[in-house]
Structure formats: structure tokens, C-alpha cells
Structure 1
């Protein structure tokens, strides 16, 4: 009976001390990681909520990447549009000068040369790329938005008709740019379709022809350039509203991430002060249990020896 009771005593004491040590180690781990849940069974409700928070955070990270890519494209597009307004304004000044009756044919020919340069620069902007190398005005197409015939110089849009929207959170989407036709296409009075590149080329050719016809072409070109300038500035306004909306959604997403972090801390975080106090209490109990075990073990041994 003595051997059986002593064996049970040792086994029970070892189990109790082992459990105390495990709890102390768990508290030490909580202090190190800042998390109080080691497994879902520790707090099933909190664990389920933490999984939901993790899912929200993953979705938010995807929305953040989409927003950053959209912002990148919108900024590059805005810069290109700003340069276009300068070039179109300059083209209008040249057309106004060419329409003046006192302007000579030689001067109009010189103006035509400058218009050719402006057209080439506009095409360069139309085929511009963003930081990732994607076409700014080609929609979803890979490569340039406009293909220029090496012989005739005619520019043809080779991009897609639309640009896919991207999700930026809370079920909201944004179009991260414009297609070429949205910016450069023009409709003549008779309903025929053209674009600013073709109109500039036609104006340049007319100015080189000289005479009254060149002056008349310049006056007609003023109206075309006014329309083109209006389309570009309207695109800038729309782009600005998109960038403002993107910024608002980014701020809301940042606030939401802060909420997730706070809730995660409440649901699964280990309060350092409370955890440290519990650890100190646990260590005190463990030390007392170990001391008690030693005393009782010695007493049992003494009884057996007697």
C-alpha cells in the first residue's frame, strides 16, 4: 500500500507540476508573440472572428495593389494630357496666325513644318506608357495605341475599344485611364469620323498649298483644334475626379485596416501587463508546488525508512 500510494503521489505531483510549467511557458510565449490564442479551441468565438479579420485584410491588400496600379496609370495619363493641352494650344496659335490675311505663303509653309512636329509629339504621347510599361491610351491591348504607316504617315488606332475597370474596395470600381478614341477622335459636321492627327496632317498639307485656300483651311482648323482642346481638358477633369475618388477610397481602406488591427488586438492579443502578472502568479504557484513536492517526498521517504 505504501508503494502504491507513493507511486500515485509522484505521478500526480509530476502531472500537476508539468501542467503548471506548460501554462507558464504558454504565458511566456504570449508575451513574446503578443497573441493569447495558441489554437482555436482556446477561444472558438475569438478564433472565428480572427479568421474573418484575416480574410478582410487579405482582400484589402488586393484592393490596395489595384488602387496603387490605378493611381500610377492615372498620374501618368494626367501628365500626358497636360502636355497635350500645351501642344494643341500651340497648334491653335499657329492656325490663327496662318488664317491671317497678311501671313505669306512662305510663313504658312513654316507653320506647316511646326505643325508636323506637334503632330509627331502628340502621337508620341498617345503611344506613351506607364511605369509598368503598359500603354496609357491603348485600353487592354499590349503595345502602342496607334500604328503609324511609315509611307503615308497615317495613324491608326490599334488598341481596344474599352478599358477594364478595377476593384478598389467596398464593391467600388474605377476606370484607370482612357482609350485613344476617347481623347483624340473627332466628328466632322457631316458626321464622318476623324482624329486630331488626321486633322493636323490635313491642315499642314493645305498650308503648304498656299493661296487663299490655305488661309481658309487654317480658319476651319481653328474650330477643329478648339474641339480637340475641349476633349482633352474634359478628360483631365474626369481624370481628376477619379483620382479624388481613389484617394477617398484609399483613406477609407486605411481606416478599415486600423480597425482590423485594433479588433485583432482585442480579440486575440495578449495584454502585456495582464499576461506578465499572470506569469508571475503562475511562477509563484509553480515554485510553491515544487517546494511542497520536495518536502512531501522527503517525508514519504522518511516514513518508508522507519
Structure 2
């Protein structure tokens, strides 16, 4: 009888211990917010979880890259808009005026001063820096101004690129020689061509000879042509930048959707999804009930006189 009673006591003690272990295990998983706490819990799911975590990390890296690209292209787009305003609203009309035969020398010198101001602003914009202090139109040579005072380009010849997704490498900058390309015939860019017209306006005599007048008109005419070419080229650069900004938005939306899917699969593999947590919570309540019941039975058994005699 004593052996049978001891056996019953031990069995109830083991049952209570098992219930407590199960309850504690479920409590830990609830507290952690997931059922997968270590690889040995489920090696297959643990492997999947690592894969999904790496995928999310990669998506995060591309998200950062896209934000950088969007910022760089946005600042470039703003600068291009300012340059466009100078070329189309200020310079194109005034360079036509420069060819007027009714202008006196004083008129031409006054116009030369205006054109010098426009050129100075164009040069400043071409040497613009971004919020990080890097020159926007210098390619990879971002530490120094890409255009010299005489208008010559000394920046990099390779445009910056950025990997913005697994399959997309995007140009995120424009080099100065692509912004203001040189004319194949004269070898001058718009800054250099404009300077020649400014010099011509300042140097044409009050009563020029036919040869002087002809040379002057040729210089002004070439600059007028260069201005229109610069406007056309600038439009192409702006179109590329605008297209890239739209593509970044599309890639960002696609990546957001992909991240939601991967995050959902990660939660499923680690047991942190909503359905699993509800199930664990339910199990925990049942386990708590089982533990309390087991403890009540054990305490009742301890109160029996037959167990008191065992002590």
C-alpha cells in the first residue's frame, strides 16, 4: 500500500511538473511574440526565416539606395529647371537683341553686362552642389567645381549610377559635358560661346567696318544657334531625369508590396503571425488551467493523512 501511494504521489508530481514546463514554454513564446525561439525548434522553418530576413535586409538596402537616387535626381531636376528658365526666358531673347543694327555702342555694352550676369548665373548653376556639398554635374569628380571661369569643363566624364533594385542600375547624375555639350564645329559649349558674344558686344566699334560687322554677326549668330541647341539638349536631360524619378516611384511601390509579402512569410516561418499567436494564446490559457488543476490535486493529496504519515 505504501509503494502504491508513493507511486501515485510521484505520478501527480510529474504531471504537475510537466504542466508547469508546458505553461512556462508557452509563456516564453508568447512573450517573445513568436513560436520559433531557436533553430532546433524547427530547423526547416529556421532556415526559411533566415532566407526571409536576408531578403528583407536586401530590400531595405535598395530602399535606402532609391531614397539617395530620388534625392540626387530631385536636386538635379530643380537645378535643371533654373537653368531652363535662364536659357529660355532670359538668354534666348537677349541674344537675338544683340544682333540689332540699331544698337549704339553704349547699348551693346549694356546688353553685354546683362549677358555677363546671365552667364555668371549659368556658371553658378552648372557648378551647383547638393545637400552633401558634392558638385551635381561633376560625375565622380564631386570634390571640385566642374566648370572653370572660362567655361571649360574639367569634371568627370562618367555619370554616377546607383543600383536601385536587384535588376536595375540607374543613372543618378548628369556630367557637365552632357549638360552643356561642345559644338562639333566650334568646340565651344554654351558658356564659352556666350562669352565670345559678350566680348564681341564690348569690342565692336561705334562705326564698324563691313568686315567687323560681318564677324560680329557671325559670332552672335553662332551663339544664337548654340542657345537653341542647349535648350533642346536640356529638354532631353530633363526628360531622362523625370523618367528616372517616375521609375523610382514604380520600383518603390513594387518593393513595398514585396516587403509585405516577405514579412508575412517571415512571420509564418517564425510563428509570429496573427493566427499562430492566437493559437498559442489559446494553448496558454488551457495550459494554465491544466497547471492550476494539477496543483490543486497535488495540494489536496498532500492534505490526506496517509501522505502525512509518509513524512
The normalised TM-score by structure 1 is: 0.88
Contact persistence 1:155–1:198 (CA under 8 A): yes
Q: 2 CA distance for matches of 1:178 and 1:198?
A: 19
| Structure 1, 40-49 or 23-32: larger mean CA deviation | 23-32
Deviation at 1:294, TM superposition (A): 2.6
Partner of 1:155: 151
SS in 2 for 1:84: helix
SS in 2 for 1:160: coil
Contact persistence 2:161–2:173 (CA under 8 A): no
Question: Where in structure 2 are there 5+ consecutive unaligned residues?
Answer: none
Contact persistence 2:52–2:262 (CA under 8 A): yes
Partner of 1:112: 112
Q: 1 CA distance for matches of 2:61 and 2:10?
A: 54
Where in structure 2 are the equivalents of 1:98-247 lying within 5 Å? 98-148=98-148, 153-189=149-185, 192-210=186-204, 211=208, 212=213, 213-247=215-249
| Cα distance change of structure 1 residues 282 and 138 upon mapping to structure 2, 3 Å threshold | same
Q: 1 CA distance for matches of 2:191 and 2:289?
A: 85
Contact persistence 2:135–2:142 (CA under 8 A): yes
Partner of 1:252: 254
Deviation at 1:94, TM superposition (A): 0.8
**Residues 254-295 of structure 1: CA deviation (Å, up to 9, x unaligned):** 111111222223222153432221111101111121122233
SS in 2 for 1:185: coil
**In the alignment, which of 283, 290, 293 is matched to residue 288 of structure 1?**
293
Q: 2 CA distance for matches of 1:285 and 1:179?
A: 73
Contact persistence 2:69–2:172 (CA under 8 A): yes
Contact persistence 2:147–2:155 (CA under 8 A): no
**In the alignment, which of 284, 294, 298 is matched to residue 279 of structure 1?**
284
Contact persistence 1:203–1:218 (CA under 8 A): yes
Q: 2 CA distance for matches of 1:108 and 1:36?
A: 83
| Structure 1, 272-281 or 109-118: larger mean CA deviation | 272-281
Deviation at 1:218, TM superposition (A): 1.7
**Residues 52-78 of structure 1: CA deviation (Å, up to 9, x unaligned):** 110011111111111111110101101
Question: Where in structure 1 are there 5+ consecutive unaligned residues?
Answer: none
Contact persistence 1:137–1:179 (CA under 8 A): yes
SS in 1 for 2:98: helix
